Structure 1
Amino acid sequence: MPVPSVPVRTLFALTAVFVIASPGSAVQAAPKPTVKQLKKELAALQKESDKLIADYYSSRLAHQKAEKAEKSARETLSASQEVFDRESANLRTMAVTQYTSGQPDQLVLLTGNHDPATLLSKMALNQHLIDLQQARLRGFGQVRDDHQRAKDEATARADELGRTLKDQDERRGKAEKQIEKIKDKIDLLHTAPGARSDGTWVPQLPQGSDNITPRMALVKKLLQERFDVPFGIGCYRSIQDGGEHPLGRACDFMLSRGGAMPGGEELRRGEEIANWAIKNGKRLGIMYIIYRQRIWHIRTGGWRTMSDRGGTTANHYDHPHISVF
């Protein structure tokens, strides 16, 4: 996005803070940390980060173990369910058969008009059927109990898996926050070259194979180290369009190819890049950022909607644009 080439000054107002206990004494703002102080803080953060990463690794092992146990419990339950369903069907068949066949009980046989041989034969057959039914009922009771135990075990293992996943996510979150702190400290180690004490910036010539200024090169380097930009970074363009590209003072951080609208993950990455540039803008000499048909300028400090230029790329929906002084 072309920006009128006018002198721009970033003014820093210093406010004196008075201590109530000592009305006559003014306390200056805390000085910026030195490189030595930042490196010391980085070492402490790195040590804590190593512990958090080790904790996260332990939680991953626990989760993997819980996953295996949960899978085994599901397989056991599935096998038990098949046995339970089969035995239930057999039991229902037995009940229906007994009901429809009208098998007499022992009392009916004794009071009936049967000769002794036939009576003994029928009583023996009836007792045999009763024994078979009782054995099947006892067997079904065992199947039912085994099935219930399998269900209880599967539920317990599923609950355990949920707990380990929650624990893993919590530890991962802590580690990621710590890593972000480290990245922030690393950013503070770098200050763009060419800053004047009054907040203005010394003009710089493009250099190197990519034809960008040292300030733009630093911003590009830091962004490459902090964010994955899989679709490439475009900087120098020879077309004189009144913007910073032909001056080596601008780069586009692409979120898609061929003018395609980026997906949700890439759009979030674009927001993260833009927010990082805003956060570090004053220290790194960033003049303005364009993203999703909006422009943020250091002079105003807020986003402003831009006019529609008729396309995904022209409206900067597929890349954040960063210009430096």
Structure 2
Amino acid sequence: MTRRRAARWRALVSVVVGAVAVLAASSAAVGAPSTPSPSGHQKNAPLLRDVLESTARGFVTAKSALDKSRKRQLELALDVAQIQGRLDTLTPQVNQIAVQSYRQGRLGPIAALLSSASPDSFIAQATMLEELNRVNANKINALTEARTKVTAAKADIDAEVRQQQRQATAMAKQKLAAEKQLALLRGPGLADGLVAATSPVAKPAPGFANGNWPAEACNKSDPTTSGCVTSRTLHAYTEVKRAGFTRFVGCYRSGGPYEHPKGRACDWSLQGSGFSPAKTQDQKMYGNNLTAFLVRNADRLGIYYIIWYRQIWMPATGWKSYSGPSDHTDHVHMSML
């Protein structure tokens, strides 16, 4: 190949590579929703890579089962108290029947006939005798039934206690697993007092069944971008807005391995538009109160984790220091299960 032909070939390759790069950049720009992004989110946060979603789901499931078991235990305890009261009433009566039967024997029609002065008197005594025996039999049966019920209820309580122990153990394991994962990137101490405001109660999200939040597709229009969100994320977005937090927010964002491109995360800004770190007491308190609302309604909304002001909160761990690529001083991050 001559030098002139080699030069023309290199020039052609350079033009093609440049064209491909331009087309790729244009394609990415067209496909991505146009919304501002918080600082630091261009990088992959290693903390979120280490925190397994299954840990949060497992903890929430165990906590729900534990709450149900405690409620059931309370109901059983009330049943035992009521049945025990009936036992206390019936036992002396049945004991008295037993004593009389031992001393006198069961009075039958023949004995009543022998002690009767007339046929009319015999019929009256026999009728009374039959009624007395029926009442005594009912009392004995009621006592036996009450004893059976109280024994069964106490056995059910023991079973509920064992269930609670199993769920507490499961929760402890999930918490320990999350602790180990978070320990790798834990900052130098926790910020106290960030979640101190009174928060309204959110409406429960649909889909919570048997302590589990089922997986959802990103198939609802994101009200903040041209992208999509899950039904659960949209519900949380609506509830946060209804609670009075109406400043700028962005949810769907393409690219990356975490919740934004799955439609399961929103970034709540402290500003009316865009993102910038808190500069005033009002902005800081806005973030605090928004965070308080999310934490206190986590079970109702299906919260996976929250990041705010160098802190991360998960149901299994509570508040821990966070030192990812974004310090989250310019927005509250909300991820959904």
**Fold match by TM threshold 0.5:** no
Higher RCO, Cα 8 Å, sep 6+: 2
TM-score normalised according to structure 2 size: 0.43
Larger CA Rg, structure 1 vs 2? 1
Question: Normalization by structure 1: what TM-score?
Answer: 0.45
